[in-house]
Structure 1
């Protein structure tokens, strides 16, 4: 997935139409390398500019990410110079991935006070730069000194210089002969590189993969791989084709589709479509010219505007990135605590094993008591005594280690005291083992909940639960800390809501707090409750009328939800128990999410994203529920 020069062209036109003439009301920083500009008191959507190395973009957005508790230094500089200013123009620098906004100062400011806000959407080298109209840099998100880049310096006081141009022909100013020559020239270069690979690196060396579908992105300015592949698909050239295999007729077909593509771009006749991985929902391809001929592994979605497409694709990618980061953080902490609990459990088992030998202490005391007549009343004055074992029918003589400074009676009492102490320890250790096993099961359930969490808020609820129970120490949050965490945590957990094809509402608890709230508070006695059998996972509630028989397809859909949002998500033939909510209860003192139930039936399902989508009647291939 790539934002290329053609996509930037579509974005620039769209943004200028929306924001030209609007004043900047507010500037916020969701992260150190991302800025949002609120414009014209609601006249236009907020403008988001990100210089993230993984998701650099510029677009109008419907959802402004939450701001940092403390604004970044660059955000403060932007506020000082731009708030209250009016956007005069938005333009693209040629076909480069650079957008330049000219912003006029306050009404009484001189033209010299105008500013340039420059967004370089250049992948890992992306940047946001604030400069005077003469190019003097005021500040930038990423400062670059001459020790890192000899070509240009990005620092306050330096003169702005665009990134070095890539010498490629302009696709809007090229003839058919020039097009063919460029393709043939690039193919010849590829052939030379392939020969070099073979001659210098040897036949066993890893060879570069050259695809004819990527030729246009290497030949012409502003065309990225996504658009290059789309043009090639429409010309009947698949990604498996080598550039060395192209015939003259193939190049002619490419030229025809290339002409259609550039004419549509020149006229602004765009069709905004993106492809998402059917299994994971991750964005994979985007195009301003539509997408065609893709395999079934993708789901194609159409958007009303370039900004909506970019915001959806990159916003979703960033959400997934933040979710994975949050998952890794909490998973690491829970796994560390679980490892500690498992070590404690092993130590307690070892202690219990020792305590199990307490009966031998009592036996020694009883043997000494039974042989008092032969051992005398005074100190024994030896370490080992021989006594008759009356417990054995053969009454053999056995040896017992004793304290020589004590009498036989005193040694017997000592053994009885040690026995009583060992018995008490055994009972205590047994209780401790049960508590530790309960702790291990709980932590394992939390790991399962982390895996099925589908949003940062769901992970945050898990963090709050673990924090409240003292299992982890939460992350330190600048400017707000634990007090703000508690404030955010107020209010009832909100389970995900789905609609069955039969019209029944289905609710899914994706963590223990949601499970408790759903089963113990929201569920009515006659609602149906589902849970994957004997494994950690979500509680699922299906709303129904008293004594109503649920259709088979609704039972199947609810069972799929319970299996999918459980430890058995990747398993087949998963057993799911279901019963009326009245049959589910929470034992006194049980940890969050833990319940017992009876009078249940069992259904077997094989969970998958596609199976769940089909069962719920979703056409997009996604499984995201709506919050209610």
Structure 2
């Protein structure tokens, strides 16, 4: 596990500097695994994130913006009742284990001073966040554990006990003991760190020197490889000599941001993704059936011919017959015609005429239905591409769009008079200081193209496939900027894994919005096309700004 006891030791020391003696002013449950606290310390508001995610569990200060629910649940309300307004008196790590104890000093509803304890356990799938009173009686925990789930019982009302701890040596105070498995000897060691320490010692570095670096480090070193990304508070030189160095909390933000985003989208919008895919599949199947029906209708002359031939051969047809062979005077051959045993020749002929008329009348309806179904397929194909590349806010806007168009039912919530915010589009700044706006869903695309953009700005979009609207806020673009914007448009599209992707570009003033209730559609009249190979190398050439 990357977030081992040694990393937690560095995090705890920084937290003591930053928020010890601070006041908890607000608490949010931002997911089933995460709590976010706003702490006022040293005359600044600081965001303290606690995650008990089975894979990404950690504690840290963060500068990232996390979505907070409009209405807190019962657990959050209880935590707020006890914790908001309390001061963080002490932050301590239990040995070098992945457990942090925070002592809170506050007041109860009778204004009496009380002491509370927070126990944060960073232990993979057993991670937890537990609030207790001064007698260590559990008030609430983020993840309740029943006796049937574990030998360790965690429920409100019972006494909290630390998990069983294995006695190991403190690597900061003990000498080096050669071993193939340092994890079993020293506290706080993960597999990655144990391998690195052994590697460095074999290269001639002393154990005390390594531990001194670990004890004094306030940075995070991140290594990206094709299979996996790694980090620690010293460079993991056994993996690579090229580690990117960041301040501790900035590095944790960078490492976990995309992982958290993917998981949060999966948690919060899994039903939305499934709905979009189901609607796309449903319309594809519907189109297949409509086209088959249209083909049958276009070949409906066969029904008329059979009716004509039956009328010409009434003497040969009697009730109870299943078929009849008649002369086909249209081509001089014989034709076998199926009959309904309930009718005579005239009745069967009228039956075929009715089929012919019905098929003929249905042609216009079918053609219109096919047109509408193709529009639905294109629309949900666009949403499929958008949701695959969406962050949390992008996904919420897609849900809002579907609700606005009547595909999803809006939840009835108490109306609050809030100013409508602009969509959360992405902004990149080029090395020449040019702003490039990227819409990652239909609402953002519409807003950027028809509201945000200047009429002389340049608009980019992949040709004949779903993708982002990219607006370059500049006139008279050079070749470098055109290629850069085209690469961004191709990257944020369905063709991001293809090569030589065609990208159309035109001035915004030449664009028109079609007469459609669906957002994100544009009519082109005067444009050029460039072919580009999409990849993420453009990210090193631009600076990403906070979303709008």
Are residue 275 (structure 1) and residue 222 (structure 2) matched? yes
Pick from 204, 211, 226 the counterpart of residue 262 of structure 1: 211
CA offsets 1:568-605 (integer angstroms, 9 cap, x no match): 11112222222333443333237432334244332222
Are residue 441 (structure 1) and residue 378 (structure 2) matched? yes
Going from structure 1 to structure 2, the CA distance change for 1:430 and 1:262 (only over 3 Å counts) comes to same
SS in 2 for 1:223: coil
Contact 1:502–1:551 under 8 Å retained in 2: no
Q: Distance in 1 between matches of 2:527 and 2:69?
A: 48
Tell me the CA shift for residue 168 of structure 1.
2.0
Q: Distance in 2 between matches of 1:226 and 1:405?
A: 84
CA offsets 1:479-505 (integer angstroms, 9 cap, x no match): xx3547999994443432222334332
| TM alignment of 1:50-69, pairs within 5 A | 50-63=51-64, 65-69=66-70
Given the two structures, how large is their TM-score scaled by the length of structure 1? 0.74
SS in 2 for 1:289: coil
Going from structure 1 to structure 2, the CA distance change for 1:368 and 1:34 (only over 3 Å counts) comes to closer
SS in 2 for 1:65: coil
SS in 2 for 1:253: coil
Match of 2:534 in 1: 607
Going from structure 1 to structure 2, the CA distance change for 1:605 and 1:15 (only over 3 Å counts) comes to same
Tell me the CA shift for residue 522 of structure 1.
3.4
Contact 1:22–1:87 under 8 Å retained in 2: yes
The structure that has the greater radius of gyration is 1
Match of 1:495 in 2: 425
Match of 2:516 in 1: 589
Tell me the CA shift for residue 328 of structure 1.
4.4
Going from structure 1 to structure 2, the CA distance change for 1:277 and 1:459 (only over 3 Å counts) comes to farther
Going from structure 1 to structure 2, the CA distance change for 1:495 and 1:81 (only over 3 Å counts) comes to closer
Match of 1:557 in 2: 484
Q: Distance in 1 between matches of 2:359 and 2:293?
A: 10
Going from structure 1 to structure 2, the CA distance change for 1:273 and 1:356 (only over 3 Å counts) comes to same
Going from structure 1 to structure 2, the CA distance change for 1:406 and 1:495 (only over 3 Å counts) comes to same
SS in 2 for 1:220: coil
Pick from 313, 316, 323 the counterpart of residue 265 of structure 2: 323
Q: Return 222-231 or 399-408, whichever deviates more.
A: 399-408
Q: Distance in 1 between matches of 2:188 and 2:239?
A: 23
Pick from 244, 257, 262 the counterpart of residue 300 of structure 1: 244
SS in 2 for 1:597: coil
| TM alignment of 1:45-194, pairs within 5 A | 45-63=46-64, 65-106=66-107, 113-150=114-151, 152-175=152-175, 179=176, 182-183=177-178, 186-187=179-180
Pick from 264, 268, 278 the counterpart of residue 336 of structure 1: 278
Pick from 391, 395, 417 the counterpart of residue 459 of structure 1: 395
Contact 2:394–2:424 under 8 Å retained in 1: no
Q: Distance in 1 between matches of 2:196 and 2:164?
A: 28
Are residue 351 (structure 1) and residue 293 (structure 2) matched? yes
Q: Distance in 2 between matches of 1:386 and 1:37?
A: 86
Tell me the CA shift for residue 57 of structure 1.
2.2
Match of 1:206 in 2: none
Tell me the CA shift for residue 313 of structure 1.
3.4
Contact 2:221–2:234 under 8 Å retained in 1: no
Contact 1:519–1:541 under 8 Å retained in 2: yes
Contact 1:270–1:288 under 8 Å retained in 2: yes
Tell me the CA shift for residue 50 of structure 1.
2.9
| TM alignment of 1:9-20, pairs within 5 A | 9-20=9-20
Are residue 568 (structure 1) and residue 504 (structure 2) matched? no
Tell me the CA shift for residue 221 of structure 1.
0.8
Q: Distance in 2 between matches of 1:441 and 1:226?
A: 47
Are residue 253 (structure 1) and residue 190 (structure 2) matched? no
Are residue 506 (structure 1) and residue 436 (structure 2) matched? yes
Contact 1:291–1:300 under 8 Å retained in 2: no
Contact 2:146–2:155 under 8 Å retained in 1: yes
SS in 2 for 1:541: strand
Match of 1:219 in 2: 185
Contact 1:36–1:47 under 8 Å retained in 2: yes
Contact 2:385–2:466 under 8 Å retained in 1: yes
Q: Give the unaligned 5+ runs of structure 2.
A: none
Tell me the CA shift for residue 316 of structure 1.
4.4
Going from structure 1 to structure 2, the CA distance change for 1:294 and 1:607 (only over 3 Å counts) comes to farther
| TM alignment of 1:324-403, pairs within 5 A | 324-326=266-268, 328-363=270-305, 391-392=330-331
SS in 1 for 2:167: coil
CA offsets 1:377-418 (integer angstroms, 9 cap, x no match): xx99777999886655x6x7878789998897x987776555
Tell me the CA shift for residue 302 of structure 1.
0.9
CA offsets 1:445-490 (integer angstroms, 9 cap, x no match): 221222232x11111222222333344557xxxxxx3547999994
SS in 1 for 2:530: strand
Given the two structures, how large is their TM-score scaled by the length of structure 2? 0.84
